[in-house]
């Protein structure tokens, strides 16, 4: 890991931030661990998170760590501003609460209609969950979005990946994306995410997103169950995103024709 970090530091000195090429008929999909709105400067500033999301201009975005962690979990987002300025509204949860998310996970969207929502408790040592949303688009097209934040222990992550695959297999087959901080930088047979393979195939490399000031670990993922459904996944790296959270957002383009 140390050698990987050193190589990344050397190479990044000559790199320019990559940008997603936006096509008129494509859908911008993103994932972002907002670290409870606390930036790398130690300041809690929900407004910066809204501004970073505005830079991305997503049609669908999954956020992690959107609530306080202890006691009565309370939402930390500026939901009204997200809707007013960017047209993004949260997928409704089954039970109203002071929290904005399910185990800290929320899905915001501005394209499509909510057809179904499932809240899943994931196995593992820590309390973790996944928010599963089915969105319908015009022309009978639809997509399943699974937003999750996996645990810190490798064994827990492996159990959580299998639990999501089991859920997908129990429900109708539609285009499906998993978005979130999966806390795993490895791919291949040694990865705790190898359990995704039966439903999602081999995991492609993802963009380094952590830590945001000098990212070299690809902890955040957007994966799909169909070839050609999404394009390259890249990190959204700007002066603001480097300070707003300890993770960079990641984003990709979902092809509407492939839905």
Tell me the pLDDT tens digit for each residue of 130-185.
999 999 998 788 999 999 999 999 999 999 999 999 999 999 899 999 999 999 99
Cα of 3 vs its chain's centroid, Å: 27
DSSP 256: G
H runs (alpha helix) in the chain: 2-12, 46-56, 79-86, 154-170, 197-200, 241-244
Question: Is 37 inside a domain boundary?
Answer: yes
State residue 5's pLDDT score: 46
Domain count for the chain, please give it: 1
| Residue 105 included in any domain | yes
∠ Cα 218 148 101 (to 5°): 125
The Cα–Cα gap between 191 and 124 comes to: 16
How do residues 35-54 score in pLDDT, each as one tens digit? 999 999 999 999 999 999 99
- The pLDDT assigned to 205 comes to 84
152 with 122: CB under 8 angstroms? no
Whether 3 is in a domain gets the answer no
**Could you tell me if residue 2 is inside a domain?**
no
What pLDDT, on a 0 to 100 scale, did the predictor assign at position 71?
61
- Token pair 């390259």 in the structure block, residue: 232
Residue 154 lies in a domain: yes
At what angle are helices 46-56 and 79-86 packed, to 10 degrees? Answer: 30
What pLDDT shows up at residue 19?
Answer: 53
Identify whether the C-beta of residue 147 lies closer than 8 Å to the C-beta of residue 179. Answer: yes
Domain range for 206 is 21-258
- pLDDT for residue 38: 98
Q: Which residue has the tokens 């997200």?
A: 82
pLDDT at 22: 61
Rounded to whole angstroms, the Cα distance separating 71 from 197 reads 37
pTM of the model: 0.91
Listed in sequence order, the residues at least 6 apart from 24 whose beta carbon sits closer than 8 Å to its beta carbon are: none
Tokens found for residue 70: 């202890």
Question: Of all residues in the chain, what percent are helix, strand and coil, respectively (each to 5)?
Answer: 25, 30, 45
Tell me which residue of 249, 258, 233 sits closest to 56, measured CA to CA.
249
Report d(CA 142, CA 163) in Å as an integer.
22
Let me know if residue 16 belongs to a domain.
Answer: no
Q: Would you state the structure tokens that stand for residue 216, as one six-digit string? A: 């070299």
Which two tokens mark 108? 């915001």
pLDDT of 24: 62
Q: Is residue 27 part of a domain?
A: yes
- Residues in the chain where the model's pLDDT stays below 70: 1-24, 70-71
Is 67 domain-assigned?
yes
**Domain CATH code at residue 111:** 3.60.10.10
């Amino acid at each position: 890991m140390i050698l990987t970090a050193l190589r990344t530091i050397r190479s990044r000195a000559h790199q320019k931030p990559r940008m997603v090429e936006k096509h008129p008929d494509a859908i911008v999909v993103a994932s972002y661990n907002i670290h409870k709105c606390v930036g790398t400067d130690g300041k809690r500033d929900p407004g910066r998170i809204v501004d970073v999301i505005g830079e991305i201009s997503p049609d669908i975005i999954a956020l992690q760590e959107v609530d306080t962690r202890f006691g009565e979990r309370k939402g930390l987002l500026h939901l009204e501003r997200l809707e007013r300025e960017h047209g993004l509204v949260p997928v409704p949860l089954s039970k109203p609460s002071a929290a904005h998310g399910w185990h800290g996970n929320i899905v915001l969207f501005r394209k499509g209609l909510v057809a179904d929502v499932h809240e899943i408790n994931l196995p593992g040592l820590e309390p973790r969950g996944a928010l599963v949303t089915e969105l319908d688009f015009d022309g009978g097209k639809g997509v399943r979005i699974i937003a999750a934040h996996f645990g810190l222990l490798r064994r827990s992550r492996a159990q959580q990946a299998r639990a999501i695959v089991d859920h997908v297999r129990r429900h109708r087959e539609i285009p499906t994306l998993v978005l979130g901080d999966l806390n795993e930088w490895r791919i291949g047979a040694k990865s705790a995410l190898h359990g995704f393979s039966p439903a999602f195939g081999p995991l492609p490399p993802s963009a380094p997103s952590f830590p945001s000031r000098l990212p070299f670990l690809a902890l955040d993922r957007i994966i799909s169950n169909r070839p050609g459904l999404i394009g390259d996944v890249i990190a959204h790296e700007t002066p603001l995103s480097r300070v707003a959270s300890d993770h960079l957002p990641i984003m990709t383009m979902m092809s509407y024709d492939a839905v």
